Amino acid sequence: MHPGVVGCGEEASLQSVAWILADEQIHCVVVSEAETTPSGQRLTWATVDTAALVRALAAGETTTTAGRIATPAVTVEPEDSVAIAVRRMAKHETSHLVVVDRGFPIGVLSALDVARAAGSR
């Protein structure tokens, strides 16, 4: 896991998201207050990864915002095993999980983190 969360607001431009990803040398940002449930309840966070950014830019969506291309965050807890994380990544077809402790995001677990763990065995 990468401790700490690098994020942006839902109104951040794609240019801002791209700058954050490049400057922080990461592949995923956590977007605050980006999703709404069918009942109208605001969720706390979502994610934008490099693949979503590239898809949006390729589609010419240069004026859209992080909130519009964000996907709901898939989460794990710090005590969850790597096996649980891998299954969750596969099920949700994502390469990043937000690590949540008592309802608060404390880090991001990437597919590269999983590869490092698998390679160290």
Q: Is the full-model pTM beyond 0.85?
A: no
Distance CA 80, CA 90 (A): 15
Q: Which CATH number characterizes residue 103's domain? A: 3.10.580.10
User: Strand 96-101 vs strand 104-110: parallel, antiparallel, or unpaired?
Assistant: antiparallel
| Widest Cα–Cα separation across the chain | 45
Count up the domains in the chain and report the number.
Answer: 1
Residue 72 CB contacts under 8 Å (≥ 6 apart), including other chains? 35, 43, 46
Domain range for residue 68?
2-119
Q: What is the pLDDT of residues 64-82, one digit of tens each?
A: 999 999 998 999 999 999 9
Q: What is the pLDDT of residues 4-33, one digit of tens each?
A: 889 898 899 999 999 999 999 999 999 986
